[in-house]
Amino acid sequence: MLRSHSILFGALGALTALAGESLAASTSLAGGPLAIRVGRAETVAKGVIEHAVILVEDGKIVTIGEDLPVERGITVIDRPNWTVMPGLVSSYTRIGMDSEGGDDMSPDVKASTEIFPKSRDLRKVVEYGVTTLGIYPAGNGIPGLAAAIRPRGDTVEEMVLKDPAYLKIVMRSDSASKKRVRDAFAKADEYDEKVKKAREKWDKDKDSKKGKKEEKKEEKPEEKKPGMAGVEGQGPGPDAAEEPKADAKAEKAADGFVPPIPDDKVRAFVEMRAKKLRALVTLTSAADWLHWLDAIGKETIGFDVRLVLNQESDYFYVLDKKTYDLEADGIGDRKIHAVVEPLLTYTPNTRRVRNLPMELAKAGAKVCFTPRFDDLVNYKAWLGHVAELVGAGMTRDVALRALTLNPAEMLGVADRVGSLEKGKDANFVFLDGDPFQPATRIQAVMLDGRFVFGEVDP
């Protein structure tokens, strides 16, 4: 009820009433509004705020600003030496999962079905500052659908933020990978054809029914005909004339036509074409990128890439179209998300170090970091690994964004997490210094307005 207030004082006015009620229980930090005053806030979306005050209630950020006055009665946590940043978002992980996948085509498998809420690993990553995870299904080929989750909750439903978040596709430079993708879209074509036929049949049935009705009302059919002609481009819809059409899809539902349910293996691809779902394509070399573009041909689906980095990675050939005079777009040209490990690599066959994540960002790709390996040790060292890249020339802003807002966007949950902005979930990491300084330690972590790590007394 407080979220709609735009001015702090307005909000506070209302808050005092609440605060009075919950004053007795406020020391437990549960429920009621809470103000956090820190030395510095990395908002990611809107730069740095010095002497920041964040007001949290109901697990959301009510407001954030510099040196905001806090009304009496509101619990205040005052840590002038701390820096706060948004909770880390790990968009490509299987931490806490243990199943193994095959090498086949199973775009209907959902990673969310294998989440075990009591997993020790999930509890542990929270301590390392991770408050949002993108869990993907295991396997090669097209293993299935990933889900965006928060790492705390008693049930899976409680944990899930968005499901599905993306379809994982593994692209290798081989005929099987291309065939898999092409076949999938061919099946989606078949489904489209099926829908079209069902639609025609449905229209016929309806027309014949209407014919009987129209004997009573004679004026209407003439009005309808031009309407029919007008809608033909979007698919025949005789009812369009009766109601003003908003768009083709809404109309489908409105006129009562129920399209046939797509086969499990096809649904993901139908949804991708309808721009309801994005793909995350795993690539292991620059050649894979060209082969992927070749495989999808003229499909205009939305996709992001997971670039597996190793010491000899050669993605620098396909960062943009210009440098090597490519015939196809580069990764940066597409302005897509690129999930990479924070790893410095070599120019192949040399010992010349490259900062590929930095090069990707410069070329226009939206870098998202994933830990070097998907285990607790690397989650613990995550910020430190990113700091190595910052030391090697990547700008802090890009690095911070690649840990928070970019992966949140990729998962489709940027409206809730990924930056310190009014209305977003209160997911914070509190540090005792700059996130990219080696001596800095995580002091506390807040997830949905609750401290889930660190002993914090007001």
- Contact residue for another protein among 326, 338, 383, 405 (CB under 8 A): 326
Q: Which tokens hold the place of 135? A: 């869990």
Between CA 372 and CA 62 the distance in angstroms is 35
Q: Is residue 103 within the footprint of another protein (CB under 8 A)?
A: no
Nearer to another protein, 326 or 383 (CB): 326
Window contacting another protein (CB under 8 A); options: 202-210, 256-264, 332-340, 344-352: 344-352
CB of 285 to another protein, least distance (A): 7
Among 21, 174, 397, 415, binds another protein (CB under 8 A): 174
Q: How far is the CB of 281 from another protein (least distance, A)?
A: 15
Of 27 and 347, CB closest to another protein:
347
**Is 44 an interacting residue with respect to another protein (CB under 8 A)?**
no
CB of 106: closest distance to another protein in angstroms? 22
CA separation for the pair 81, 79 (Å, rounded): 5
CA distance 367 to 405: 10
- Binding-site size for another protein (CB under 8 A) equals 23
In the complex, what is the shortest distance from the CB of residue 185 to another protein, in angstroms, rounded to a whole number?
A: 16
Q: Does 180 contact another protein by CB under 8 A?
A: no
Which listed residue (13, 348, 454, 458) binds another protein by CB under 8 A?
A: 348
Measured from the CB of residue 394, what is the shortest distance to another protein in angstroms?
23
At 42, give phi and psi (nearest 5°): -90, 100
Judged by CB under 8 A, the chain residues 295 through 314 that form the site for another protein are 314
191 Cβ contact partners less than 8 Å away, ≥ 6 residues apart: 260, 262, 263, 266, 270
DSSP string, 143-205: -EEEEEE-S--SSHHHHEEEEEEEEEEE--SSHHHHHHHHHHHHHHHHHHHHHHHHHHHHHHH
Closest CA relative to residue 44, chosen from 429, 453, 451, 347? 429
Tokens of 289: 């990128």
Ramachandran region of residue 51, left (φ > 0), alpha (ψ -120 to 50) or beta?
left
Q: Which residue, 113 or 347, has its beta carbon nearer to another protein?
A: 347
Residue choice 181, 286, 368, 383 for contact with another protein (CB under 8 A): 286
Interaction with another protein in 115-134: which residues (CB under 8 A)? Answer: none
Asked if residues 344 and 392 have their Cβ atoms less than 8 Å apart, the reply is: yes
Residue 149 · residue 133 · CB < 8 Å: yes
The binding site for another protein (CB under 8 A) comprises: 173-175, 177-178, 285-287, 290-291, 294, 314, 317-318, 324-328, 347-350
